[in-house]
A and B are shown apart, each in its own frame.
Chain A
């Protein structure tokens, strides 16, 4: 019986297999043909495979009348708010340059694509920019994980990966000569703020709160070079990817350890999520926060909105921004609140004239200022490279003349053939409710006063020293006469 059943079962199997085989086989075949058809159509749709754009002297992305450059930045996702203003602000500078005839008769075409801060997207989009759109260089792309993902590819293709929007120590690496950073490395910031803590809070107990990634680790490395390890009583970290609620545990640990000074390498949201629970348990240490985490036009509104989400009244929400009063941080270019500064004036005019919708939305804040200054650095690099523009020539021009470029930075750029960092200095400032406030479309925010002279150092063993050189003034022609 069992045997018979087994046999019949086998027959049935064979039978059903046979009848369905043809359909199955043809479906597979259709699939294969369909893929073939689909892929060829796609190839036809995508812009001229294997075709090279017309170039002078065969430099990709460069013609007699144009230069194509590209970037990948987060326009969506968790990193987008605030950072999505930088590339449009850069584009405003290029519009201004193009309206004035371009550089050496070449107009700058800037293509920035949204990678959503996902390195896999960055890898694909960067290949699209280089292999398909034939860009001359990758300028002002944002993020450590994202740009680390394409550092190898861009260098193997000998495509300049310049002025990366990240303070990672990894951009000045002899293995990757085509890469370079722009903003101060986080370790430099850590050293400058650490040296301030050592000098001004001697004998006090210090606690750390940092993001558990390259940003936090590099910053803490700088702090540790300056602050005696005996005075560090607690080291707390948080994970950026899962940052969703108040950092109550970390704050409780810092309070329990008796930390009187809390040095923080935090993003704006984490700054707010640390200060609020601390205030709630009556813990008010002296905060010393990295430049990124103390951007008042971003942190102020976050303090208010988190207070309201937590059930606080409108009055409490307004009062919460007062927590920023007295915070120590650092700045590497003139704060936008300093309206008498010539850089701030031309930057504002430039945004009003060439990116009116961006100006209406964000105004001149830390991010738009950053984009303008970075783009203007690139324009000067092009000018220094001259008419016979090549990729290698651009790098050589930056190494040779980068120190002379004018920027709103407090210190000159430090480019050389071996150093691929931009600014390596900053000024320690104290946020203060009595100083002139920063004015943004969302309201006015707390101002700041400098508490140290501008200081310089490097990511290595160089001491933190006072910068005595000049600061640059903006070129008179940076703003159109329209």
Chain B
């Protein structure tokens, strides 16, 4: 334990003294509860429509977090996450239509179904890299929806399958209740993923991303690790898909166009590839950017032809600006900014990397970094 003398902090720097528990699970749960408290304050003060949007943000956070794990942490790319969302959505909707199972069981089924497809896709994916993997997952996003159209009696065709949200308790309005189901889902997923990333699995994911041969030499089963990452990522998308089905009210193939998969990837990059918290930024942009661009085009009195494509243009511009200003995404930029900010004040003991006290430890650190 490094112990540096703690300088007297000014009033404004109290926030720098905040400590979180060191045990990962406890820490992540504490953070999630804090987040839940803040989100509760937000949702209870918003209109039902804004609550609905917060719920949408939460569901996209789930899909983006899974994608962030796959791409940012494990180094595999996917242009087919919309398809995994579709599988999760259809699995939940089929159960809702034909059975009267517990709501949680239906959600678990959507996670399981998407995870299973993730396994089927993940195994051949271990042999593919970069553009080939992108191509294969892209094909998935293209090929899956027509299957649902083909068997329209099972999958409901154009009208789709109706989803049902459990009745809201008490006087809570349905939008706020749905938002809470989605927020709780998102927070649980984030806690589990954050924990996973701090575990042996997380380290294996990163090791495989950085150098497969070195990882393999260290005793990591590379193929298995990649498949596990794919399954987890697909399972997250499955849950997000089930939640999207709940928001939309029905599940049909029109909800899962190719653009959804591409927008997910772009939002993930914007938020900060490989981060989990950054996915909140990505999801906020995914939900709000089209609306902002619509009101913007309204302000400038653009014709419907021009305004229609403004959202896409703005999304592109934001992507370019963020990539120039903060190559590690919004979350990366914020971390950097926060680092600069805290460097201005008296140095807290946990701020910059502290100098190890024992020389041997330092030596060892540098040795492991050499590999």
Complex contacts, B145 vs chain A, CB 8 Å: 241
| B344 adjacent to chain A (CB < 8 Å) | no
A403 CB to nearest B CB, Å: 28
Q: What string of 1s and 0s marks CB contacts (under 8 Å) between A38-55 and chain B?
A: 111011001001100000
Kindly specify which of B71-79, B128-136, B348-356 makes contact with the partner chain.
B348-356
- Docked complex Cα distance between A32 and B365 (Å): 32
Complex contacts, B162 vs chain A, CB 8 Å: 152
Kindly specify which of B118-126, B253-261, B314-322 makes contact with the partner chain.
B253-261
Complex contacts, B149 vs chain A, CB 8 Å: 212-213, 239, 241
- Beta-carbon contact of A31 and B247 below 8 Å: no
B179 CB to nearest A CB, Å: 11
Q: A19-B353, A119-B248, A119-B255 are in contact. Are A168 and B47 (CB under 8 A)?
A: no
* Chain A contact residues: helix, strand, loop or mixed: helix
| B335 adjacent to chain A (CB < 8 Å) | yes
Which of these, B247, B334, B350, contacts A123 with CB under 8 Å? B247
- Docked complex Cα distance between A151 and B46 (Å): 25
Number of interface residues of B (CB under 8 A): 79
Q: A27-B338, A127-B175, A152-B162 are in contact. Are A241 and B52 (CB under 8 A)?
A: no
Q: Which of A53-95 contact B (CB under 8 A)?
A: 75-76, 80, 84, 88
- Docked complex Cα distance between A35 and B280 (Å): 7
A89 CB to nearest B CB, Å: 13
For residue B362, which residue of chain A has the nearest CB? A15
- Beta-carbon contact of B254 and A124 below 8 Å: no
- Beta-carbon contact of B354 and A19 below 8 Å: yes
- Beta-carbon contact of B254 and A145 below 8 Å: yes
- Beta-carbon contact of B361 and A11 below 8 Å: yes
24 A-B residue pairs with Cβ-Cβ distance under 8 Å, sorted by A, are A11-B361, A21-B22, A27-B335, A31-B278, A32-B31, A32-B38, A35-B35, A46-B50, A84-B304, A114-B308, A119-B160, A120-B260, A122-B248, A123-B249, A131-B49, A132-B49, A144-B159, A146-B254, A149-B250, A149-B252, A149-B255, A152-B162, A168-B159, A239-B150
| A150 adjacent to chain B (CB < 8 Å) | yes
- Beta-carbon contact of A9 and B34 below 8 Å: no
Q: A22-B350, A38-B284, A153-B249 are in contact. Are A31 and B334 (CB under 8 A)?
A: yes
Which of these, A11, A43, A242, contacts B42 with CB under 8 Å? A43
Complex contacts, A360 vs chain B, CB 8 Å: none
| B45 adjacent to chain A (CB < 8 Å) | yes
| A17 adjacent to chain B (CB < 8 Å) | yes
Q: Which of A18, A123, A150 has the largest number of chain B CB atoms within 10 A?
A: A123
- Beta-carbon contact of A28 and B31 below 8 Å: yes
| A217 adjacent to chain B (CB < 8 Å) | yes
Q: Which of B331-362 contact A (CB under 8 A)?
A: 331, 334-335, 338-339, 342, 348, 350-351, 353-354, 356, 361
- Beta-carbon contact of B350 and A21 below 8 Å: yes
Complex contacts, B294 vs chain A, CB 8 Å: 113-114
For residue A132, which residue of chain B has the nearest CB? B49
Q: A17-B198, A148-B159 are in contact. Are A118 and B368 (CB under 8 A)?
A: no
Number of interface residues of A (CB under 8 A): 73
Complex contacts, A239 vs chain B, CB 8 Å: 146, 149-150
Complex contacts, A12 vs chain B, CB 8 Å: 361, 364-365, 368
Q: List the 3 closest A-B pairs by CB distance, nearest first.
A: A22-B350, A31-B277, A49-B47
| B157 adjacent to chain A (CB < 8 Å) | yes
| B97 adjacent to chain A (CB < 8 Å) | no
Which of these, A9, A34, A75, A118, contacts B255 with CB under 8 Å? A118
- Beta-carbon contact of A117 and B308 below 8 Å: no
A131 CB to nearest B CB, Å: 4
- Beta-carbon contact of B160 and A145 below 8 Å: yes
Q: What string of 1s and 0s marks CB contacts (under 8 Å) between B128-166 and chain A?
A: 000000000000001001100110100001111010000
Complex contacts, A50 vs chain B, CB 8 Å: 47
Complex contacts, B56 vs chain A, CB 8 Å: 124
Complex contacts, B277 vs chain A, CB 8 Å: 27-28, 31-32
Q: What string of 1s and 0s marks CB contacts (under 8 Å) between A312-337 and chain B?
A: 00000000000000000000000000
- Docked complex Cα distance between A146 and B158 (Å): 8
- Beta-carbon contact of B257 and A145 below 8 Å: no
- Beta-carbon contact of A42 and B50 below 8 Å: yes
Complex contacts, A26 vs chain B, CB 8 Å: 16, 18, 338, 342
Q: What string of 1s and 0s marks CB contacts (under 8 Å) between B19-51 and chain A?
A: 110100001000100110011011001111110
| A170 adjacent to chain B (CB < 8 Å) | yes
- Docked complex Cα distance between A261 and B56 (Å): 49
Q: A32-B34, A215-B158 are in contact. Are A8 and B354 (CB under 8 A)?
A: no
Complex contacts, A29 vs chain B, CB 8 Å: 18, 20, 31, 34
- Docked complex Cα distance between A480 and B311 (Å): 37
Q: A149-B160, A152-B250 are in contact. Are A114 and B304 (CB under 8 A)?
A: yes
A125 CB to nearest B CB, Å: 9
| A25 adjacent to chain B (CB < 8 Å) | yes
